[in-house]
Amino acid sequence: MMTDMNEADLVPSTTLRELRLGYFDGRTRRVLVVDEEVPYPDGKLIVSRTDPDGIITHANQAFVDMSGYERDELIGENHCILRHPDMPAAAFRDLWDTVSRGSKWQGYVKNLRKDGAHYWVFATAIPNVRDGRVVGYTSVRRKPSRAKVNEYTALYAQMRAEELK
């Protein structure tokens, strides 16, 4: 089971939400969410790689810094440790369907930090093909514009509401 989030790690806030998030493989996790956005660092790319099952095998320093976790808490963990409950499941289904077909996926993503805050990214994920075989996935995130963040905040809220009906 993925490690539950801990109150002691949270950024101080008056807007704490607690919920149990279910993942594609049937696992669940207690997540704690505060309504705080951490700005994307200027000039940086957040880079990670996973194995074919979505287990993190590489994280660059920007990834570690923005996630709020230590590197050794991330390596070996499923990438969905970053999944924010405001993200519609359909977005991740589309991501995995696309990269599993061998294609590039791009989209706007709200990521959950260890401290319950979030950060928005424009993400690109591609399969790593070696000798004709997919050996993992590389994901690179860049800074999204504020206009796009606002647009996708509204869209995802609508999609999430539909999913929860």
Binding region for another protein (CB under 8 A): 40-45, 47, 49, 60-62, 104, 122, 124-126, 128, 130, 138-140, 142-148
Taking the complex as a whole, the smallest distance from the CB of residue 127 to another protein amounts, in Å, to 9
Q: 13 vs 124, which CB is nearer to another protein?
A: 124
Q: 83 vs 143, which CB is nearer to another protein?
A: 143
Q: 42 vs 72, which CB is nearer to another protein?
A: 42
DSSP secondary structure of the chain = -PPPP-GGGSPP-S--EEEEEE-TTS-EEEEEE-S-BPPPPTT--EEEEE-TTSBEEEE-HHHHHHH-S-HHHHTTSBGGGGB-TTS-HHHHHHHHHHHHTT--EEEEEEEEPTTS-EEEEEEEEEEEEETTEEEEEEEEEEPPPHHHHHHHHHHHHHHHHHHH-
Taking the complex as a whole, the smallest distance from the CB of residue 106 to another protein amounts, in Å, to 9
Taking the complex as a whole, the smallest distance from the CB of residue 142 to another protein amounts, in Å, to 6
Q: 13 vs 128, which CB is nearer to another protein?
A: 128
